Amino acid sequence: MASQKNKNGFYAQSGGVTAVINASAFGVLEKARQHPESIQKIFAGQNGILGALQENLIDTSLNSAEEIKGLRTTPAGAFGSCRYKLGELNKNFEKYRRIVEVFKAHNIGYFFYNGGGDSQDTTKNLAEFIKEQNLDIKCVGIPKTIDNDLPETDCSPGFGSVAKYVATSILEASLDVSSMAATSTKVFILEVMGRHAGWIASSGGLAQRTESDPPHIILFPEIPFRLDSFTEKVRETVEKLGFCSIIVSEGVRQENGDFLTNAKGTDAFGHAQLGGVAPMIAELINNKLNLKNHWATADYLQRSARHICSKTDVEQAEAVGRHAVELALNGKTSVMTTIERITNHPYTWGLGSVDLKKVANREKMLPADYISTDGFGITEKCKEYLSPLIEGEAYPEYQKGVPHYTKPRKVLASKKIDDDFPI
The values of phi and psi at residue 244, to 5°, are -145, 130
Helix (H) or strand (E) holding 52: helix 50-53
355 is catalytic: no
Q: What share of the chain is helix, strand, coil (3-state, %, to 5)?
A: 40, 20, 40
144 near 157, Cβ under 8 Å?
Answer: yes
Distance, in Å, from the CA atom of 163 to the CA atom of 177, rounded to the nearest integer, reads 21
Q: Which residue out of 118, 147, 149, 154 is catalytically annotated? A: 147
Distance, in Å, from the CA atom of 331 to the CA atom of 138, rounded to the nearest integer, reads 7
φ/ψ bin of 290: left (φ > 0), alpha (ψ from -120 to 50), beta (otherwise) = left
260 near 251, Cβ under 8 Å?
Answer: no
Nearest to 380 by CA among 209, 248, 246, 241: 209
Cβ contacts of residue 40 below 8 Å, gap of 6+?
A: 6, 7, 8, 61, 107
Active site residues: 147
